[in-house]
Amino acid sequence: MSKSIFFTGQPILNQLLNLIDKSKVKALARAGKYDHYYKHFDTYTHLITMLYSTLNKCTSSREVVSGMKACSHKLGHLGILKAPGKSTLCDGNKNRSSDIFEQIYAFLYLEHSKLLPDSRAVNNQKLFIADSSTITLFQEILGAAGRSRLNGKEKAASRCIL
């Protein structure tokens, strides 16, 4: 009787890592020499760290590192010896090329594309982009937009659809 790897009691990070072939990530990093200047913070550890930060909605490198250190007893199950330091993580994000992560994504997409629903396929569809960033407007330029304030400055959202 074989066990299923899609056990619902497993954490999401562990379920994601079950889909990633660690040896393939290490082979891609070795082929492109992406781990050449790193002793302890290899590409696989960097990938796990970034997945951890995304899934835990971390907003700073300090938050990522302190969260991983708090879970240091569980890192061995993920294939990491120890949590990276803050400067190590920042240096890795700054200096390691994003090409390796593009290659990992392409490999994972080819390997697991059959699991994705067909509705994700884009067949010559137009792309509509909406920008709703807040900008400061002056009454002389766009007097009808936004709310009026006593100082004459107004704020509104600019929306453009291409």
Write out the DSSP string of 33-54: TTTTT-SS--HHHHHHHHHHHH
The residues, ordered by sequence, that sit 6+ positions from 126 with a Cβ below 8 Å of its Cβ are: none
Angle (CA) 83 79 105, round 5°: 95
| R_g over Cα of the chain | 22
Predicted pLDDT of residue 86: 92
- d(Cα 68, Cα 162) in Å, to the nearest integer? 42
DSSP conformational letter for 124: S
Q: Tens digit of pLDDT for each residue in 68-100?
A: 999 888 888 787 888 899 999 999 989 888 899
Q: Tens digit of pLDDT for each residue in 3-61?
A: 555 555 667 888 888 888 889 999 999 998 888 887 788 999 999 999 988 888 888 99
- d(Cα 118, Cα 161) in Å, to the nearest integer? 26
The two three-digit tokens of residue 67, written as one number: 């969260």
pTM value is 0.66
- For the chain, the straight-line distance linking the first and the last C-alpha, in angstroms and rounded, comes to 55
β-bridge partners, 161: none
